[in-house]
Amino acid sequence: MKQAIIFPGQGSQSIGMGREIAASFPEARAVFEEVDDTLSQKLSTLMFEGPLEELTLTENAQPALMAVSMALVRVLEKGNIPIHTFSYAAGHSLGEYSALCATNAFTLSDTATLLRARGLAMKDAVPNGKGGMMAILGGDLETIEKLCEEASQFGICTIANDNCPGQIVISGEIVALEQIPALAEKHGVRKCISLNVSGPFHSILMEPAALIMKKYLEETPTRDPIVPILPNVTAVPETRHDFLRNMLVRQITGQVRWRETLLKLQDLGVKRLVEVGSGTVLTGLVKRTCPEMEVFSIHTPQELDAFVNKISV
């Protein structure tokens, strides 16, 4: 059966993530130790014990989520499920870095360094209180595009994440986002939820962060991934490392086309998706976008065993 591996993004973090894996597998512990050493920080202790407020800081959450995903990848490899058994790889926002690391385009230490830089750059790109994000539930893409267009009369407002049917996240200046609830009601959209994030991610307001990451990425050695990656901004499989590096720069200000990514994987004949990392956010998005597709979420030793047993049958 053709399968793809997918990696979660920010918002999937939780206290205790990776702790059971680290306690059970030396390969996982080695990943956490290398990330700790690279960042000169006991990030693993923060992941395992908290506090949540510190873990949720963008500059901590991004490398932490990648570390959990990579620890699980290393355990899968030890269990005779190497990355090349997957036909494609993709990740949601920062998860794209996890996908590139898992497929050997980046080293683990370089990925941790890049994500620490990315988190800091994104946090500092826009002054506190100027920008934000909002989840729109119940409207289609065309309707939300109209909402953003109308709100743009007051300030920058754009679609940030097209996650799944009925769930789209917008990003922009607070003065524009404040207009959305009234506009949404007029267009019959069910619900708008302001998100607790530190900035207007995946919007043009992140251009300062994109310029910083362009420099970091140009200085980081890259290789062609051993499995095709579907970048967020194109949702089309690619293996050229220089192209994928440029997509990471564009991703900072560009839209995460996750719904399109899942549909593209389905069109490519993928029958099974495996979410590797903290939480089950992507698993839920798969079920709402491609309900006929088999999906696994792997975070704990028990989930690992269940997956290994399933594909060994």
- Residues 23, 258: Cα–Cα separation, whole Å: 33
**Backbone angles phi and psi of 171, in degrees to 5:** -145, 150
DSSP 8-state symbol, 278: S
Which contiguous run of DSSP H or E holds residue 281? helix 281-289
Strand order in the sheet with 157-164: 157-164, 167-173, 131-137, 191-194
Q: Catalytic residue numbers?
A: 93, 202
Find out whether 75 and 25 touch, Cβ atoms under 8 Å: yes
Q: Please enumerate in sequence order all residues whose Cβ is within 8 A of that of 47, keeping only pairs 6 or more positions apart, or say none.
A: 13, 15, 16, 17, 18, 19, 32, 55, 64, 67, 68
Total residue length of the chain:
313
d(CA 86, CA 122): 31
What is the 8-class DSSP label of residue 105? Answer: S
